[in-house]
Structure 1
Amino acid sequence: MCIHKKNLHNLQDFIDEIHEMCYYQDSEVTGMLANRLRALRRAKGLTQQELAGALEISASAVGMYEQGRREPDNETLTKFCRFFGVPSDYLLLDGAESPAGPPELGEFLEDFRRRLLAQEGLMFNGVPLTEEEITQVVSAIEVGASVAVNKLGRKSGGKDV
């Protein structure tokens, strides 16, 4: 499959978002703060650099927080909570629900479909894809994402994921 670098980056971002969504409520996930900060940032469509600028902290600090290699002090934690509109419990405690609730697979897929259809020059084997072919690609991804979510549900003992 031949995809422009710009499109490949967007596809990888989408795959990363689906992966995070599948593990969103998994209480066994280590680095709750790190995972939730990364998920919140990506949900807003921000880079680490953009988030750092908005909060007046360094991009490397954001990266360290998201990797779980550093924990924010109380002032920085408060900035994150205010910026993302979430309580500190959500960032710090296992099982705490986001005020917005868990992301829905359908929302992610619909957003991905819109972004993919808006891309120019998406190709397969050097041939530009039509809107119908792009829809078929998205449908295949929807099936794969559903299989992944179902498999995760079986692993978690039937808990909602």
Structure 2
Amino acid sequence: MTVIGERLKKLREEKGLTTDELAEELDFAKSLIWSYELGKKEPSITHLRRIARFFDVPTEYFTAGEGEPYERIRLDSKTDMEDYKLYIDHEELTAEEIEEVIAYIRVKRLMQKKVS
């Protein structure tokens, strides 16, 4: 079994789904889930993204590193930002810097969507 297969099976079982149920949820052939879990096939990038979205994990969880999926943190409000200390080069970011970074990312994503 491959890392992708092991992690897919682990997430599927944690959700209490059979391979047939997962295949139906993802609109995949039933045999495809088995093939991925047994390591007989590697999922395409498109399939990997769909699987990651379904389980709410980053695609990197299947392809790199070890351990559990990343914890997702939403930084939508100032109170959220006050709960965490973020650092760059061992220096804590100010609330203003964090807001600037978030604004930059939003603008960059918007520009990428317009180009696509």
Residue 39 of structure 1 aligns to which amino acid in structure 2? K
Residue 70 of structure 1 pairs with residue 41 of structure 2: yes
Q: Is this contact kept in 2: 1:34–1:65, CA < 8 A?
A: yes
1:121 corresponds to: none
The counterpart of 1:90, out of the listed 58, 61, 64, is 61
1:33 corresponds to: 4
Select the structure of larger CA radius of gyration: 2
TM-score, reference length from structure 2: 0.58
| Larger RCO (CA within 8 A; separation ≥ 6) | 1
Post-superposition offset of 1:41: 0.2
CA deviation map 1:13-57 (0-9, x unaligned): xxxxxxxxxxxxxxxxx6110000000000000000000000000
Residue 46 of structure 1 pairs with residue 17 of structure 2: yes
Q: Is this contact kept in 2: 1:32–1:93, CA < 8 A?
A: no
CA deviation map 1:54-110 (0-9, x unaligned): 00001100000000010111111111000000001111113153135xxxxxxxxxx
Question: Structure 1 segments of 4 or more deviating over 2 A?
Answer: none
- Count of residue pairs the alignment pairs up: 71
- Tell me the C-alpha RMSD between the 2 structures: 1.4
Structure 2, unaligned stretches of length 5 or more?
72-116
Distance 1:80 1:96 in 2: 18
Distance 1:52 1:44 in 2: 13
Residue 92 of structure 1 aligns to which amino acid in structure 2? T
Identical-residue share of aligned pairs (%): 37
Structure 1, unaligned stretches of length 5 or more?
1-29, 101-161
Distance 1:96 1:48 in 2: 23
Distance 2:68 2:17 in 1: 22
Residue 50 of structure 1 aligns to which amino acid in structure 2? E
User: 1:97 is paired with a residue of what secondary structure?
Assistant: coil
Residue 99 of structure 1 pairs with residue 70 of structure 2: yes
The counterpart of 1:59, out of the listed 19, 30, 49, is 30
